[in-house]
Structure 1
Amino acid sequence: MSEKAAVLVAGSWGTALASVLADKDMDVAVWTRNEAQRDEINGLHRNERYLPGVELSPNLYATTDMEEAVSGAKAVVIVAPSSAVREVTRALKPFWHEDMLVVHATKGFETETMKRISTVIGEELGCEEGRIVVLSGPSHAEEVVKRCPTTVVVASMDDTQSAAAQDLFMNSYFRVYTNRDMVGAELAGALKNIIALGAGMSDGLGYGDNAKAALLTRGLAEITRIGVEMGANPLTFAGLAGIGDLVVTATSRHSRNWRAGFMLGEGKTLDEVLGSMGMVVEGIRTTKAAHTISEKYKVQMPIAGQLYHVLFEGLDPRTAVEALMGRDRKTEMEMMSLETWEQWHT
């Protein structure tokens, strides 16, 4: 009998990860609230709203019944939007047990509490945050379902759990590394969406490659600075979860964060952008979270700050760029506090 895994929920990334598992001859149950989506996946082997034109594996099936989805599963993969993770995990709780591997691939924060997603899942399941595994890295769903070579990282404080997740996902086209820095992997995956919004906005304004290269470089400095202050290893931000995911998200039309930023740069309002996307744009929620977090930790995040003004205070994008270009003179190496720097170099 084939081993079983459950994926919650059936968005583009959830469906792509379910396809990876199905290619390993696993029985994969994808949970969705949408009955029409369930019927489409089961009857036509398609998920046209999220992955148009893709034929899904017959090893993959959908259900609206949480108990049916997770019953007998050795692993549960949570890929819900950040705003829905707590509710989805709460629905999972009655059917979860300690022997079940829990992986999440959601890149964001719980905006209301500013908590990382692993913290939210741990709270709802009543387990230690350290036994949850974070999956992150440069990985467009549209390419993964086409079996394009893709490399990601799974991070956990528990080496046994991360090794289990590595074995779960790794196949001929989906390479998986492990990392102990769960905090860094999680923060990098969430915060790069902000910089991807900015990169799209820069392209929409027609500012060219020079501007975008600088934006990505200084954006990575911001991500590293706040990440290290929150307890992450700075080397994580130079890896797959950091610069790898930043590059793929900030330079590709597959990226909904880049597309949203591009439309903002073209002059569309936030409401117009959200109305045309049809899918969650995590970078918008994450920008709001980062604004609060940067104030809490007293860490400068000028790019995220200007994007916050554009998204939520109506600032014109060109004015935001002028504000960034007109900032006081700095040295490039102002990335973290002296205390934090010494922590990692003693």
Structure 2
Amino acid sequence: MSDTLAVLGAGSWGTALAIALARRGHAVRLWTLLPADADGMNALRVNAQFLPDIVLPPPLVATADLAAALSGANGVLVAVPSRAFREVLVRVAPLLPVRAIAWATKGFEEDTGKLLHQVAGEVLGEVACVAISGPSFAGEVALGLPTALAVASPDADAASGWVRRLHGDTLRAYLSDDIVGVQVGGAVKNVLAIGAGIADGLGFGANARAALITRGLAEVQRLGLALGARRDTFLGLSGLGDLLLTCTDNQSRNRRVGLALAEGKTPQQAVEALGQVAEGVVTARAVRQLAERLAVNMPLCGEVYRVLYERRDPHAAVQALLAREPSAEL
């Protein structure tokens, strides 16, 4: 059964998901802020800025009219940067056609440190919240390469609806009811990917990368447990899976930021060279604040924060980590 779906956000990830959903036979309205971008996508049948080599399927129509995108939609999927999440939901609130909202945005709200389901509850009231996460690069999803995602919600019906919409020949969707854990894993891995990029850019080798991923996973678990998540969630797609992907492949924007920092670029130069949003830069600040407030030990994320916001030299950050006192692994 096909649905009418609104995908809000026409960056690479929103466009890739819109393409995947349209290939599944759903009528997809892809919302973008700029009318010129919508007109270009509809005329050229590509997103020239973000996915120029992928043809948009016929069931996908771009629009800059938010009301038109939402009107009569059976499902709404938000795929905007975390900084814009609350602002978009405020605009959506009076137009929301169903009492449910899904998102593929990864991060915390920067100023408050809130998870996105908390933001959605504040803005939209009693709605079913669904977080979509897991190891997935937009370009590979758009190409139809095999990908697995986690779809998390305490509302089983809402989550199952998005599993049905997404699940197809090359895209597998797995249910979870741990919306906190899935979001924490998807957010913090971006900070650690910056750290992995720094380590590799400094030439520290495969041993250091493996150690960073493993100890980084321990930090993700600590924060997640303090926020009410389940430990086993972090051994799944949205935890270990997403962490491995973003720390080891140069398709990762956050890893590329780390590589640029290792070359001596400033954080601003690294982000400008990227030309797209790197969520880990914003998330590092929120993670730092949460870790301090909850008294969670997160030394790797802390050093990434210091490189980004306190001008710490990447070599000094590594030395600070190596100089820490020995401790038990578990």
TM value normalised by structure 1: 0.93
Q: Which residue of structure 2 aligns with residue 337 of structure 1? A: none
1:289 aligns with 2:286: yes
What are the superposed Cα offsets for residues 30-54 of structure 1, whole Å, 9 maximum, x if unpaired? 1111122111210001112111322
- For 1:326, the aligned partner's letter is A
Q: Which runs of 4+ in 1 moved over 6 A?
A: none
What SS does the corresponding residue of 1:109 show, helix, strand or coil? coil
1:135 aligns with 2:132: yes
- For 1:59, the aligned partner's letter is P
Report if the CA contact (8 A) 2:196-2:212 is conserved: yes
Taking only the aligned residue pairs, the percentage that are identical comes to: 45
1:203 aligns with 2:200: yes
1:86 aligns with 2:86: yes
Select 2:231's aligned residue among 207, 231, 234: 234
1:223 aligns with 2:220: yes
1:101 & 1:37 partners in 2: Cα distance?
27
Report if the CA contact (8 A) 1:82-1:108 is conserved: yes
Report if the CA contact (8 A) 1:75-1:100 is conserved: no
What SS does the corresponding residue of 1:145 show, helix, strand or coil? helix
Select 1:257's aligned residue among 229, 238, 254: 254
Q: Name structure 2 gaps, 5 residues minimum.
A: none
Q: Which residue of structure 2 aligns with residue 125 of structure 1? A: 124
- For 1:3, the aligned partner's letter is D
1:53 aligns with 2:53: yes
What are the superposed Cα offsets for residues 232-258 of structure 1, whole Å, 9 maximum, x if unpaired? 000000000000000111111111001
TM value normalised by structure 2: 0.98
What SS does the corresponding residue of 2:184 show, helix, strand or coil? helix
Q: Which residue of structure 2 aligns with residue 276 of structure 1? A: 273
- For 1:315, the aligned partner's letter is R
2:65 & 2:329 partners in 1: Cα distance?
53
1:153 aligns with 2:129: no
Select 1:189's aligned residue among 186, 189, 212: 186
1:112 aligns with 2:98: no
> Size of the alignment, in residue pairs?
330
Deviation at 1:25, TM superposition (A): 1.1
What are the superposed Cα offsets for residues 177-224 of structure 1, whole Å, 9 maximum, x if unpaired? 001100000110000001111001111111111111100000000000
Q: Which residue of structure 1 aligns with residue 315 of structure 2? A: 318
1:253 & 1:51 partners in 2: Cα distance?
17
- For 1:43, the aligned partner's letter is A
